[in-house]
Each structure stands twice: as C-alpha cells, then as structure tokens.
Structure 1
C-alpha cells in the first residue's frame, strides 16, 4: 500500500470542500487533489501554498472527460454540488451529482462521500419546493439504487452559522439603539439545526480513517438544535450585545431578497416553512450521530471561537 492515499475534494475553494481540505492536511496519510473551476483564482493559489501534498486540478463537474481525468487514481472522493452556482437552473445539481457518481463507479473508486440533504419536496407531498435540499436527495437516491455496490457514505450538513456572516449574509442589522436584530421568515419558536461548516472537515477525516464502518450510512453534521429566539439569546449571552429575533413577513423577506430571481425567493421561503417545524431534517432522524464521531461546535462555542460580534 502507498504511504499516502489520494483523496479528491470537489469544491475545494468553497465552504464545504475547503473545510475538508484543511482537516485532511492535519492527517499524515493523505495526499489531496483539490478540484476547482478556476485554478488561477486567489482561493486556489492560497490552497496550493498550504502543503506540498496538495494538487490543484481544474475541473468542470458537468464534463465527463474532466471528471474522468480528475477522479483517476483516487482512493476516496468527497463530492458535493452547489445550488448557488446556478440557482435559476436547479436541475443542474442533479445532473452534476449523477455524473460524478457515474464516473466514480466507472473508475471503481474505493470510497465515495457525498454531501446531501433531505427531500423536502417528497416529504411535504409536493406542497413545498426546495430544490437546494431535494435535488441533493434525488442524487443520493440515484447513487444508492444505481450503484448499491459502491462504497458510499452520505454526509448531511445543517444550517451554517456562517450564513449570518458571509458575502451575502442572512438579514441581520444594528438598530439605532444598538440592538442587533436577527430576522427570518419563520416563527420565533421555529427550529434551527446549526453547524460550524468548518466542522465538516473533521467529520470527513474521521470517516476516512475507518470508512468500512460507515458504508451506506447518513451522517448528520449538526452541533445543536435550538429555536430561533433561543439562538438570539445565546448571541446576547456570549457577546454581551443586546439582540432580538424578528419574524419577517413574506413581503419583508422578498424586499430583502429583491436581487434574487422570484423563483429563488420562493425556494427560500419554502425552505423556511419547512425549517420552522422540522429544522433541516425530520423528527425521526438522529441528528446527533455526527457528534459521536467528533466534537462539533454549538452557536455558543462557535461565537467564542470565531470572535464574531455581529454587524457594527
């Protein structure tokens, strides 16, 4: 056996793939092949400087030949799709996910880890349309039915804390009196399953240490379950800043999301309708199983770790 096992990471410059790469770098038995659409980007260049065990490879995951070249000789693959890359064409996620599975099966890749979600459309009997969740679930079903012999592990991240801090953060603002207002189109008692997305990396690293123990399993990457109001109370308790939770009307949410196409606004509103009652999962799901593998951050520990204090 080679000293180093090659792990190929899709979306290596993004939140999920980047977390996986950073965690794998702490292990001493992996070489990492980082796939990216643009190897000359600043994010890709920064990745390359992290270690000699990193290989940056340009890959369009809609292109079969690209995937055949990029997946070749991999011991394991971490695969994910990005709804936000083509939000007005959500069906592309399904196409990409299926193609990656097809290529991995063709190349007899030993282990395939796929980042997915639940099928809200199906679980709601078609009342809700949430392709950013459901299309990943469709790919998961395709993999399990089409390639039952492929050694696949499914990871299901919950709602990122970083959704409040990114380049397009969720609606949060500082009011005139200094209060930090967190706003969502859901009840104050709506359910939030939360995760520090950086914790996905240690989960995947753990899975790859003994992958045979997890074949065919769904691993939920979730640090806690809290309601929206308690989430904001935690913020105040840790930061000392006064804060409040606000339930947005549909009109208010659409005003906030006015730069997004109407169909994407609809997808998000339906997502929050589901989350209000169920969070990111369903009641029968054991969302704590990822916590059995490694310690995961709660909102409290993430706030302390990150030093995030909300908007100025």
Structure 2
C-alpha cells in the first residue's frame, strides 16, 4: 500500500479526498489537520485514516506530517476570519506562503511520487490585468515559485482547479437564497447580471475525491497538467430556475450595485464581486490553458461525478 498525505482533511476538498481514498485498499490515508483532537478529526480516525497535526504556516511541523508520503494533496483554506484579520490581499499572501512551505518540505522527500496542488486560474493574466483576485493569483504565485525553486517537484506536480461549490448555497452567507418577511418567495441577490456564468463543481464532497483518485491513477501522464472539477457552466438565472424546480419554491434573482454590495458585506464582499465580474468576462475555465487541461473524460471518471442539479436536490433541505 502507498501512503498519501492529505491537507485540509476535515475541510471540503481534503475531506472528499480522504473519504474517496479510504475506499481504495491501495492507499493508506494520512489526514493532516490543525487539530487532530477535533470532532471531525476523530471521525476520520474512526473511519481508518491516520490523523496528524500540522500547521501550513510552520514548515517544521510539516516534516513529520509528510514523512514517507508517496503522494500529497495540498490545499489551502480561506476563511472569513482570515479575511477580517489580514484583508483580502494578506489572505492571498498567506495562502502563497503556505503552499511554498509545503513545497519546500515535499521537494526534499525521497519517497514522493506525485504532488497534487489545489490552485485556481491566473485571473490577472487571463483578464489582461483587468481583474486581480488574490484568492486565485497568489496560488499561482506559489506555482511560479515551485517551477523556479523546486523544478524536480514541479516535474511530478498536477494542478487541481475546483469550481464553485454547490454547498456555498447554504454555507456562504453571500450566496444564500433568502426569504423576505411576509413573502413566500426566495431571492438570490448578487452584484452581477443574471447572465453571468458560474463554473460549478457539482457535489464537491464527492467530485473532488473522484477526480483526485483519477489523477493518482493516471500518474506521470498528468504531470504538469491541470484537472478541472467543473460539472456545469450555468448562468445565475439557471441556478435560480434549478432552485425552483428542485425545491418547489418560487424564487427570483436580483442584481445589486457594487456600492450596495459593499455596504452589505464590506471589502470582503467586493472580493467576491470581482470573482463574478471575472466570470462574466471569462466563463470557461477549460479555455484558459487548453494545452495543459486533462478532462474528466481523459481521467475516465465522468460517470462517477455528481452534477449541479443532483447536488442541489441532495441538499435542498439545507438550502431553503
């Protein structure tokens, strides 16, 4: 059996990878988390995962966590707490530093065969310097650092891009359908036209793990490639329509100005608005670096994925 070390093991992406690979007897799964004694961490351990503490901000703590790993899945987490404390730019810088810390340690490992790095598109470059999304671009600065400073690690690296999570509809306040007082209808209110297309990951809790498993199975064939977790490209108006069809509730979409959005959500809200604006101009992630893209068909996993409608139906009670 081979050992894979999975960062963010109690989060959305890492948790999906852990759950998927625990089903595969070829893998020993080591879940890396900031608190191995948390309820979620104990649940992972009860399922058969090794669970260890490590802090991506502390390079020394990563050495033991990655010891003996033949594969690594590295993902950072952006939280409202970090945005509030560090700002949008500072949070992006922190993500970059965390990925570089992991890369430094991973590059020294004699056992590592495959490094899977969860990143996002180069928004600033793709948009002709019109949109700068720290949550996207600082991950790519980490990629650039890896290419220059640890070329041996880059030679066995695959990037993984996860689209918009369906779970955002019930976990992210900015994206929730809301029912106004004295109304039976729901409203989705965003700083974008209803025609803006979202790159949607479907049920990330399933799909991330499925695709990462496909990456691992493909091995050297996908070194230097990008695997994209997007099951649907849907306009916001179709998101609302699907909500109505799945839940049986009436819903409408309301576009608000950036100024009003900032009053509601502050500077962090403007960062999300910029993501929607980027998506309006550049909706199709598969077009960004086509020579490097490996599709779910290439990986042979399309039939295992859960699309947007299926994911919404499964979580409709949480969404409304």
- The corresponding residue for 2:98 is 96
Does the CA-based 8 Å contact 1:98-1:142 persist in structure 2?
Answer: yes
Deviation at 1:128?
2.3
Does the CA-based 8 Å contact 1:239-1:309 persist in structure 2?
Answer: no
Which of 173, 177, 181 is residue 178 of structure 2 equivalent to? 173
- The corresponding residue for 2:165 is 160
Deviation at 1:292?
4.3
Distance 2:172 2:123 in 1: 26
- The corresponding residue for 2:227 is 219
Q: Which segment is superposed worse, 22-31 or 277-286?
A: 277-286
Does the CA-based 8 Å contact 1:222-1:290 persist in structure 2?
Answer: no
Distance 1:46 1:110 in 2: 28
Which of 46, 50, 54 is residue 59 of structure 1 equivalent to? 54
Which of 261, 269, 274 is residue 270 of structure 1 equivalent to? 274
1:109-150 per-residue CA deviation (whole Å, 9 max, x = no partner) reads: 211000000121233343323101111121122223333332
Which of 82, 103, 115 is residue 86 of structure 1 equivalent to? 82
Consecutive unaligned residues in structure 1, runs of 5 or more: none
Which of 12, 17, 29 is residue 20 of structure 1 equivalent to? 17
Write 1 or 2 for the structure with the bigger share of helix.
Answer: 2
SS in 1 for 2:3: strand
- The corresponding residue for 1:245 is 253
Does the CA-based 8 Å contact 1:10-1:34 persist in structure 2?
Answer: yes
Q: Which segment is superposed worse, 171-180 or 185-194?
A: 171-180
Q: Which segment is superposed worse, 289-298 or 28-37?
A: 289-298
Cα distance 1:185–1:282, how it changes in 2: closer, same or farther (>3 A)? farther
Distance 1:310 1:80 in 2: 26
Does the CA-based 8 Å contact 2:5-2:71 persist in structure 1?
Answer: yes
Which of 36, 39, 44 is residue 36 of structure 2 equivalent to? 39
Which of 102, 106, 116 is residue 119 of structure 2 equivalent to? 116
Which of 247, 262, 268 is residue 254 of structure 1 equivalent to? 262
Distance 2:297 2:315 in 1: 20
Consecutive unaligned residues in structure 2, runs of 5 or more: none
Distance 1:220 1:112 in 2: 16
Does the CA-based 8 Å contact 1:153-1:216 persist in structure 2?
Answer: yes
Does the CA-based 8 Å contact 1:57-1:70 persist in structure 2?
Answer: yes
Deviation at 1:291?
4.9
Distance 1:288 1:102 in 2: 26
Does the CA-based 8 Å contact 1:159-1:280 persist in structure 2?
Answer: no
Distance 1:122 1:24 in 2: 35
Task: Establish whether residue 29 from structure 1 lines up as the match of residue 26 from structure 2.
Answer: yes
Structure 1 residues 140-155: aligned runs within 5 Å: 140-150=143-153, 151-155=156-160
SS in 2 for 1:19: helix
Report the count of equivalent residues. 302
